C-alpha cells in the first residue's frame, strides 16, 4: 500500500509540475508555468516570455528571451525589476501603447506596439492583440477597454490564447478555433471561477489552463473550475498546473 501511495504521489507531482508539449506543424511548443500570469513558451530554438514576473531568478533555467509579450501596466504583468534583471538586449517586446509608455528604461532589441484588433508577426508566429477589460465597461474599472492586450499566438497550425486580466467579455466568448487557452480567475481583479468556466464553455478551446488565480482571498478553486467545465464541455481538456510553487 505504501508503495502504491508513493507512486500515486509521484504521478500527481509530475502532473502538477509538468512541462507540457503541444505538437504543431512548426514543431513542439513547450509550456512552462512560472508564477501567477507568467509563463514561458519554447519552440524551435525560440524562447518566449509572457508577463515575466517574480524575479529574474525564476527564469534562470531558460535561454534569454527572443520575444517578450506584456499584457498590461499592472505590476504583476509589467514587472520592471524582473525585466531589469534579465538579459533582454536581444529580445523583441510586443506590448500595448500604455505599457510602452512606462518602459522607456527597459532595454530590448525592438519594441513593437500593437493595440486591440491589430496583428504582427515574429519569426513566422502570428500575434493578434484582442481586448481584455472589466465589466461594467467604464472609467472606474481596474482594467479599461483598450489599455491592455490579450493575445492570440498562431504557431504552425495551433492557436494559443492568453487572456490577460479580463472578465467574461463578448470578445472572449466569441473566440473560434482556439487550441490552447490560458484563463485568469482572481477576484476582485478579473473573474470568479463560474464566469471563467462559462466563458470557457462558450468558446470551447481544446485545452485550457487556469492561471492567474491568486486574488485577495488566496487561490481560486481551480478544481471546481475543472469540474464545471468538464461537466458541460466534454471536449475541453482542463489542465491544472502549479502556478504558485511557493504555496
pLDDT for 43-83, tens place per residue?
A: 999 999 999 999 999 999 999 999 999 999 999 999 999 99
pLDDT tens readout for residues 97-125: 999 999 989 989 999 999 999 999 999 99
The CA angle 149-166-122, to the nearest 5 degrees, is 25
Backbone angles phi, psi at 14, to 5 degrees: -60, -45
Predicted TM-score (pTM) of the model is: 0.90
Domain ranges of the chain: 19-238
| Confidence band, pLDDT 50/70/90 cuts, at residue 189 | confident
Handedness of CA 44, 164, 244, 4 (dihedral sign): negative
Please tell me the predicted confidence (pLDDT) of residue 5.
Answer: 40
The cell for 68 is: 517578450
Dihedrals phi, psi of 147, to nearest 5 degrees: -80, -45
Annotation: CATH topology of 19-238: Metallo-beta-lactamase; Chain A (3.60.15)
Amino acid at each position: 500500500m505504501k508503495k502504491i501511495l508513493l507512486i500515486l504521489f509521484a504521478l500527481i507531482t509530475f502532473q502538477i509540475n509538468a512541462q507540457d508539449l503541444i505538437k504543431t506543424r512548426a514543431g513542439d511548443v513547450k509550456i512552462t508555468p512560472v508564477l501567477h500570469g507568467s509563463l514561458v513558451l519554447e519552440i524551435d530554438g525560440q524562447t518566449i516570455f509572457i508577463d515575466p514576473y517574480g524575479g529574474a531568478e525564476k527564469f534562470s533555467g531558460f535561454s534569454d528571451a527572443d520575444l517578450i509579450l506584456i499584457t498590461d501596466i499592472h505590476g504583476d504583468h509589467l514587472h520592471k525589476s524582473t525585466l531589469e534583471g534579465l538579459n533582454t538586449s536581444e529580445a523583441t517586446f510586443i506590448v500595448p501603447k500604455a505599457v510602452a509608455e512606462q518602459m522607456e528604461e527597459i532595454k530590448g532589441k525592438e519594441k513593437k506596439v500593437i493595440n486591440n484588433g491589430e496583428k504582427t508577426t515574429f519569426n513566422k508566429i502570428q500575434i493578434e492583440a484582442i481586448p481584455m477589460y472589466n465589466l461594467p465597461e467604464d472609467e472606474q474599472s481596474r482594467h479599461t477597454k483598450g489599455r491592455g492586450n490579450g493575445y492570440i499566438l498562431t504557431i504552425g497550425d495551433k492557436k494559443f490564447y492568453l487572456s490577460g486580466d479580463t472578465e467574461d467579455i463578448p470578445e472572449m466568448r466569441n473566440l473560434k478555433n482556439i487550441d490552447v487557452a490560458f484563463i485568469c480567475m482572481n477576484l476582485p481583479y478579473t473573474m470568479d471561477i463560474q464566469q471563467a468556466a462559462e466563458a470557457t464553455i462558450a468558446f470551447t478551446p481544446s485545452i485550457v489552463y487556469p492561471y492567474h488565480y491568486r486574488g485577495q482571498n488566496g487561490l481560486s478553486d481551480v478544481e471546481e473550475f475543472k469540474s464545471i467545465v468538464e461537466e458541460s464541455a466534454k471536449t475541453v481538456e482542463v489542465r491544472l498546473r502549479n502556478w504558485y510553487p511557493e504555496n
